[in-house]
Amino acid sequence: MSAMIPSKRSFQWPMAALACIFLHAGIHAQTGTQYQKEIDDWHAARILGLQAADGWLNLVGLYWLEEGRNSFGSGPENRVVFPAGTIPATAGYFQRSGNRVTLVANGSTPITIGGQPVKESLVYVKDSLRSPLIASGSLRLTIIQRENKIGIRLRDLKSPQLAAFKGIERYPVDTAWRIPAVLQVPIVPQTIAITNVLGQTSRQQSPGRLVFTVNEKTYTLDALEEEGELFIIFGDETSGKTTYPSGRFLKAALPGKDGTTTIDFNKAYNPPCAFTAFATCPLPPRQNILPIAVSAGEKNTGHH
């Protein structure tokens, strides 16, 4: 299923703001040293996030639950087999009943939720704001849902990948890729089709389309909104060459009253799928594949 591209008539162009696309004065007001430090600090925080307990580097499994009883442990006889040595051979089971999941631990496996030992607990109900964190030794488990699929996301705080991680190669910081943009707001609410790596497609609300110029040519990117920021999933001519094949992510501040914001491609970053095979990343919609090479931001890690 491909995304539907709204016609230009579906959007309002703030004309005064649109002129700002062509005005670069002031956008490079920072000195090169100040800007370099800003990007380096952002990247350092990004690395710490990847290495954190809830980061992507320690993800070691994703197990989709069947309806009914799903036994788990490190033994091969289980429906859900965790990595060897991380948990007893038979640890308990997850009972899936539609969109509800209950955890039942066996008597010898220490399992906690919120730091409190549990033997049986309801751990997931559809539309829950957050799945509780289940812990056993160095393992951390949460329940996720993707349409009709409900699964266990497994992290290991002692994952070998944490020790093996050597950072992310980046393009040199270049202020030319810090670009003013206008958010072209639709007259009526618009949705765009987003497909994930599982092949599932959903229509998500879009606050508008970012309009910007590179080398005097105009380009657009359809945006989503996430946690009070614009969130962009894009690909470009570097995808599959020097950057991650399935595209990269980018965030931008919500526009001010004049409709303008800044797209900083120096902060373009790899999706979780670049670091683990157990993520369910969204892919760029067709209209967000730029016909130019964006030689800025993170390069491909080469793992997945």
Q: Which of 120-129, 131-140, 171-180 has the lowest mean pLDDT?
A: 120-129
Q: What was the pLDDT predicted at 26?
A: 44
Is residue 22's pLDDT more than 50?
no
Average pLDDT for 268-275: 96
Average pLDDT for 215-225: 97
Average pLDDT for 198-221: 97
Q: What was the pLDDT predicted at 108?
A: 84
Confidence of residue 128 (pLDDT cuts 50, 70, 90): confident
Confidence of residue 228 (pLDDT cuts 50, 70, 90): very high
Is residue 9's pLDDT more than 80?
no
* Distances 288 to 27, 205, 229, 304 between C-alpha atoms, Å: 24, 15, 18, 22
Using DSSP bridges, classify how beta strands 217-226 and 229-234 pair: parallel, antiparallel or unpaired: antiparallel
Residues in Cβ contact with 30 at an 8 Å cutoff, skipping those fewer than 6 apart: 38, 175
Q: How is domain 59-158 classified at the architecture level of CATH?
A: Sandwich (2.60)
What ranges do the domains of the chain cover? 8-53+167-288, 59-158
Per-residue model confidence as pLDDT tens digits over 66-88: 999 999 999 999 999 999 999 99
Average pLDDT for 177-191: 94
Could you say which DSSP state residue 119 is in?
A: S
* H-helix segments, 11-91: 15-18, 32-51
* H-helix segments, the chain: 15-18, 32-51, 160-164
Percent of the chain with pLDDT over 70: 88
Average pLDDT for 161-167: 92
Average pLDDT for 220-241: 97
Is residue 180's pLDDT more than 90?
yes
175, 185, 237, 192: which is closest to 207 by C-alpha?
Answer: 185
Global pTM reads 0.86
* Distances 74 to 79, 84, 103, 106 between C-alpha atoms, Å: 10, 5, 16, 13
Q: What was the pLDDT predicted at 32?
A: 79
For residues 177 and 250, the answer to whether their CB atoms sit within 8 Å is: no
Is residue 212's pLDDT more than 70?
yes
Is residue 2's pLDDT more than 90?
no
